[in-house]
Structure 1
Amino acid sequence: MEAAAAGERKRPREADEAPSAAAAAKEAQYVYLSIADALKVPGARVCLFAAVTEIGAAVRSRGTDFTLTLRIVDQSRPAGISVTFFADNTALLPCVKSCEDVISLHNVVITMHGEFFVSFNKKFSSFALFEGKVSKECSPYQTSMKYQSSSHDNELLTQMRTWLAYNPPGLKDNELELRSLKSDSTTTFDLVCKVLHVHENSGEWIFYVWDGTDTPAAEFQTMQDCSLDADAVESCPLHLEGAPLSREVLCTMPCVGTILRVFSKKYIKEVFHLQNNIYWARFCNITFKHEFGIWKGVLGPSSRVRLLSHEDGSVVNCLKMYDSRIANQVHRQPMASLPDVSNLSDVEYETAGYTTLMESLTHEQVTHKLKTIVRVVAAYPCRASDLRSLLPGSYCLRLTLEDPTARIHAYVHKDDGAKFFGGFLSAEGLIKKINKLLGIPEDVEEGAPLTRNPPWIWCCLKSYRLDKNDPWGSRRYRIFGTEIRG
């Protein structure tokens, strides 16, 4: 009887266990591994729950498929691992809203090809994307057709979001904005920016990038008397690329904020996507320097470009700051000129508001009057002997003016010369005022190298044409209504 009783107790227990075993078998494919543990079972199908840190571009594979690569991380592997997706069309590929969003991967395979990466097979793999920010919302914003959630997805999502809140992988000590660039050829930085235009010139790629802020005002190395270093002071190029941008391209550019040129001697596979003026990107491991007082970025062997969604947190922050900036007339002014512009100049065109040089260059009419804030970075002529020949009352001087958005040549015509310099001056008086404009300090040992830092000044400009048959090609600027104080 005890045996029978035992048998009777056993049968219900087996019946109870059968469904649990079936459920366990069904749930087995959704047992998530850490990335570190998944690397220990290459070739096996695994499930992962991780954060997206890099978004690649969707491109056509060598066959008929489209492919996309993401980089994902978790607590076990902060360095991350790449995931390669294949699909019949781009709509079936993951569309990640923002770096640091969370992805759930089912039945993917760890593969080794030079290094470990995760392979997504369109026949049996599946994915789901979730917002990475802490939220009560646990529903995915995109899933593949084969994806089925598991009972503990919400718990894992909460854990991943909490980890991201305290360990944001996108936050880097070496990430800069254009307003905080540092000139250091040995240190690399990351830059989040919008790519406005891409140009190829003799095998060198130039990316025109912008983040809504202004690059710092560069300093110039020169001699005490500009006549001793006239070549450097007279010949200051307007741009670093071989030829200026066409007006058609120029008119697509923002009018506030610096447009930085980033140079690369190697081909970047994301070039095709970046040529359309719609993508934001993270330029990783980039160096910065300035030539002729113009900042430039340089991509080296270790540099990479990563596409960013418009909903990426870094992009959203850039746009919010820019919107706040252009809403305030003062904040639109050059960041390096704040809080006060030099009192070196007086202007008559008081009724006009502040205008950037880019706003004038892209103005719909050839003729345009404006009041702006600029630095005088070069003057021609600058030799004392040449300046004496301009006296008396026959000034014809070309100044190179810059603000964070552009650089132009502007002329002081002989009719405006006396007004500009505050009267008919001696050659010595003229040189003294030009040195002030160029930022050349006084009382420095003769012949000693020094750093000049031109001051920011208010200036009135007007544009005109030389040839009515070629109005834009013959457009010039002249200075008017501006006086340089003594």
Structure 2
Amino acid sequence: MEEAGERKSSPPREAAAAAKEAQYVYLPIADALKVPAARVCLFAAVSEIGPAVRSRGTDFTVTLRIVDQSRATGISVTFFAPNTALLPCVKSTRDVISLHNVVIMVHGELFVSFNKKFSSFALFEGKASTECSPYQTSMKYQGSSHDRELLTQMRTWLAYNPPGPKDNELELRSLKSDSTTTFDLVCKVLHVCENSGEWIFYVWDGTDTPAAEFQTILDADAVESLPLHLEGEPLPREVLCTMPCVGTILRVFSERSIKEIFHLQKNIYWARFCNITCKQEFGIWKGILVPSSRVRLLSHEDGSVINCLNTYRMYDNRIANQVHRQPMASLPEVSNISDVEYETAGYSTLMESLTHEQATHKLKTVVRVVAAYPCGASDLSLLLPGSYCLRLTLEDPTARIHAYVHKDDAAKFFGGFLTAEALIKKMNKLLGFPEDGEEGAPLTRNPPWIWCCLKSYRLDKDDPWGSRRYRIFGTEIKD
């Protein structure tokens, strides 16, 4: 009787805990997909993070994509909550999520539905760490003793199988001018605007795009005139002054709206632009979103972002080093075809001058002469007597500007009163034309990087920024 009574009494605490934990049986994603409409538990890695947006009702919603060993392509998980603080806030792709009592649903395709009434979640860092506690949990979440073992297994798998295509990822400095090749770009989105129904994203990763080469035959007109901006009108000064002064700001164009635009307009975000293409127009790099392109928001704590921040590419590191601030394509040394008077002056990028607090500014910089007006032989011969003013289009990785050689300075700039033939030879050297008679001369011109002294001035004191111009001074082109 006593033994029977003992069997009817309440079980020990250990047995009760074991019974409670038994309900959390985690299924591989592939197996969970075989039981639609059933409540399941999953332990997986986050491969994509969507934006938190307001749903069609009163809730807020966010969609994550998760993967595990059984399904590398993963599956989407949709969350709903009355406010964004209750939604999962994933620090980084490759973090780990534990999901309890979620439901596999079918709406066109299979996805995981998180029901705020009975589902729960916990988020863990995906990188190898001794810390196994979640950094965020929902109110109903209850962990189990074997979570630690599962987390260790998932972190080990992630170390050798990081989600997302890595071979397809490029930095701006590695771009290739092939509009048929797609790639991923991890970058900071600095500004978003709409222009004639086309969206433009201004993105930056701290590196410089490669210097473009120009056709010597097909773009004869461009030798005299090249646009300064792909988007037509320049950015307002208040926007321009928020831009970094080192590294290329790539314009990425899209003919369609994307749901992430609202978030990207509100603040500066890091993002992964997936499956985008790139080409050159007028020697300026242009990113393009194609139908298969996607934009994924990234946390500042995302592994891809941290990798950018921890390398020499970061703005603070480049701005602090005189050599690293110079155009990457100009290293290890700049061409010696020019002499400047201000040898001891500090180096500045064109963007640093454009965003300088005063309209008048002197600087020493490294640039390429990508266009000149006029450049015809008959017009150039009138430069030295002081009859004409020469306009050069200068560029570095940060900006492109027009700068003038005033007619009184032309002789000094070209190193003396030259014959028309000698003058044209120097101009061709500046513009990067191959020398005449060179065996197998290329059909492209590649302007050299040169040291140059510039100063800005204003034409109208009542409109200093709108009437701002640049002139070249203290610079001589050598033979």
Correspondence list, 1:254-293, <5 A = 254-293=244-283
Q: Give the Cα separation in 1 of the matches to 2:394 and 2:363.
A: 14
1:206 equivalent in structure 2: 200
Gaps of 5+ in 2: none
Identical-pair percentage? 86
Query: Could you tell me whether the CA contact under 8 Å between 2:434 and 2:442 is conserved in 1?
Result: no
- Report the CA distance shift for 1:11/1:18 in structure 2 as closer, same or farther (over 3 A): farther
1:356 aligns with 2:346: no
Contact 2:191 2:268 in 1 (8 A): no
Contact kept? 1:461, 1:480, Cα under 8 Å: yes
State whether residues 222 and 232 of structure 1, in contact with CA within 8 Å, keep that contact through their aligned partners in structure 2: no
User: Per-residue CA shift, 1:54-73, capped at 9, x if unaligned?
Assistant: 11111100000000011111
Deviation at 1:37, TM superposition (A): 0.7
Larger displacement relative to structure 2 (403-412 or 387-396): 387-396
Query: What does 1:24-423 correspond to in 2, within 5 Å?
Result: 25-170=19-164, 172-223=166-217, 230-321=220-311, 322=314, 323-423=316-416
Deviations 1:122-157 (A, max 9, x none): 111111111111011100011010100011000000
> 2 CA distance for matches of 1:229 and 1:205?
28
Q: Is the 8 A contact 1:29 1:46 kept in 2?
A: no
State the distance in 1 between where 2:139 and 2:19 align: 22
Q: Given residue 419 of structure 2, which amino acid in structure 1 is its aligned partner? A: S
The match for 1:435 is 428
- Displacement of 1:427 after TM fit? 1.4
Deviation at 1:14?
8.9
Post-superposition shift, 1:168? Answer: 1.2
State the alpha-carbon separation in 1 of the partners of residues 433 and 35 from structure 2. Answer: 67
| 1:348-372 deviation line (CA, Å, top 9, x unaligned) | 0122111000000000000000000
Q: Alignment length, in residue pairs?
A: 476
The answer to whether the 8 A contact 1:84-1:120 is kept is yes
Residue 459 of structure 1 aligns to a residue whose secondary structure is strand
Moved runs in structure 1, 4+ residues, more than 6 A?
A: 7-21, 445-449
Counterparts of 1:464 and 1:326, CA distance in 2: 25
- Between the aligned partners of 2:221 and 2:347, the Cα distance in structure 1 is 32
Gaps of 5+ in 1: 1-6
In 1, the alpha carbon distance for the partners of 2:176 and 2:61 equals 36
Aligned match of 1:3: none
Displacement of 1:16 in angstroms is 10
CA distance in 2, matches of 1:20, 1:414: 93
Give the residue type in structure 1 aligned to 2:332: P
Q: Distance in 2 between matches of 1:419 and 1:144?
A: 72
Q: How far apart in 2 are the matches of 1:120 and 1:386?
A: 73
Query: Does the Cα contact within 8 Å between 1:398 and 1:409 map onto a contact in 2?
Result: yes
CA distance in 1, matches of 2:17, 2:4: 20
Q: CA deviation at 1:171?
A: 5.4
Q: CA deviation at 1:326?
A: 2.4
Q: Give, in angstroms, the shift of residue 201 of structure 1.
A: 1.1
Query: In the TM superposition, what whole-angstrom CA distance separates every residue of 1:363-408 from its partner, at most 9, and x where no partner exists?
Result: 0000000000000000001111221233424441000000000000
Q: Aligned equivalents of 2:94 and 2:203: distance in 1?
A: 23
Pairing of 1:14-25 with structure 2 (within 5 A): 25=19
Secondary structure in structure 2 of the residue aligned to 1:289: strand
3-state DSSP of counterpart to 1:274: helix
- Look up the equivalent residue of 2:420 and give its one-letter code: A
Q: What TM-score comes out, normalization by structure 1 length?
A: 0.94
Q: Deviation of residue 304 (structure 1)?
A: 0.2
Q: What TM-score comes out, normalization by structure 2 length? A: 0.95
- C-alpha displacement of 1:432: 0.6
Aligned-residue RMSD, C-alpha: 2.2
Q: Deviations over 1:270-309 (max 9, x none)?
A: 0010013421000000001111100010000000000000
Alignment check: 8 A CA contact 1:391 1:427 kept: no
Letter in 1 for 2:303: G
Q: In structure 1, what residue type is equivalent to 2:208?
A: D
Alpha-carbon spacing, 1:19–1:314, altered in 2? closer, same or farther (3 Å): closer
Q: Please give the secondary structure, in 1, of the residue aligned with 2:20.
A: helix
CA contact (8 A) 2:384 2:410 kept: no
CA distance in 2, matches of 1:447, 1:266: 44
